[in-house]
Amino acid sequence: MRSTLDELIAELAELKALVASIEPVNHALEGHKDTVVQTYVSIRRRFDNAAFSVALYASFEKFVESLISAYVRLEAQRVDYGALPKKLTDKHLAGTAEVLWRGRRGDSRYLGLSKLGMVKNLFNCLNGTTPYELNEAVVIAHDANLRAGEVDALFAAVGIEQICDRACRADAILVWYCTVQGLEAPPQDGVKRTIIDERLKDIVERRNQVAHRGGNPVNLLGGAAMSEAVSFIESLAISIFGLVVGRYLETHHAASANRIELALRAGDGPFKQRTIVVVGKPAERLYVGQPVFVVVESTGARWGRIQSLRVDNADVQDVVANANAPTGVGVGLDFKFPQSADAKLVALTADDDMVWSPMAVAAPAA
């Protein structure tokens, strides 16, 4: 699941490089005496805009589809088919039937799917066979471009409701909004939903202009506007990813043997801009580099690794189970602990590579 965001970030980095190159390249070529080069410079801006508009939307669409596929694949490994959200099983059944009945397997979305394979997968699902495999192409299928309402519908179908509404209060979107607006502090109620609606609508419509008008889009974007559009998509994608990760961590680690719920000491922190919390003596060993997370339903997950541990005013690399810590254990985080009263800090005894990148240095031995 982590790779879906990694791939998007890499693609957006290339788009940022494209945007940064436009003005310097045009400036370097505009004085060239070759008429072919002069012609190229005169049309380059239109085609740069066209390429940018198509690529930005395509990257976001692929991210959303890949993230949903990864999430439902993990859910299918966790629960029986009948325990999946009803919206998901309804879409899976109806979508599979429609593809088979209308012969849509030749559509680009369904290339490589065999009729026998789709029927077999559906039969196994309905028959209660385990393990089972979903026809993922029909789960992520959508006939409309990814405006905010369609994004909501796609995630609602897999059991994650109102994702764009919740993204309005997510960390990445708030940071982006403060940067764009020059604000020192984010709005208390989050970003207005209409901002996400209008931004996605603009990106979709620019992409559609290119699709219908070729290399002659109107209202060309300048470099600053392009950069801002990339930053918006990046912040929205990170926000959506955090919400999906939050659901995943809640469901897959709710009763996991790897889960260690850390009790924060009342009236003791957090400190240093909420990046250090004080917890009571742990029931199991803690160590620097250990994966930790906190989930807030409205805004998604924050996760990272323990950066430091402190007991009796001394830094340590690990804390054994039920260690003598009368003043608690200071735990340094690489994220801010939320202000929500319902937030709980959870550590895992083993890495989860669906969410966490591998450690650069091995964890200390037990």
pLDDT tens-digit series, residues 312-328: 989 999 999 888 888 89
ω into 291 cis (within 30 of 0): no
Answer yes or no: are the C-beta atoms of 29 and 52 closer than 8 Å: no
Rounded distance between C-alpha atoms, residue 208 and residue 197, angstroms: 16
Rounded mean pLDDT, 67-94: 95
**In whole angstroms, how far apart are CA 137 and each of 69, 74, 82, 151, 232?**
8, 15, 19, 16, 27
For the stretch 217-262, pLDDT in tens is: 567 788 899 999 999 999 999 999 999 999 999 999 988 889 999 9
**pLDDT for 164 beyond 90:** yes
**In whole angstroms, how far apart are CA 251 and each of 44, 237, 338, 351?**
50, 21, 20, 16
Rounded distance between C-alpha atoms, residue 28 and residue 50, angstroms: 21
Res 338: pLDDT:
92
Largest CA distance in the chain: 80
Which amino acid is residue 243, in one-letter code?
L
1 vs 91, more confident: 91
For the stretch 83-133, pLDDT in tens is: 999 999 999 999 999 888 876 555 556 666 778 889 999 999 999 999 999
Q: Output the CATH code of domain 259-348.
A: 2.40.30.10
User: What stretches of the chain adopt beta strand conformation (E)?
Assistant: 259-262, 276-279, 286-287, 291-296, 300-305, 308-311, 314-316, 318-319, 329-332, 345-348
CB atoms under 10 Å from CB of 167, counted, come to: 29
Rounded distance between C-alpha atoms, residue 229 and residue 52, angstroms: 10
Domain ranges of the chain: 2-252, 259-348
Rounded distance between C-alpha atoms, residue 356 and residue 366, angstroms: 20
Q: Which helix (H) or strand (E) holds 227?
A: helix 223-252
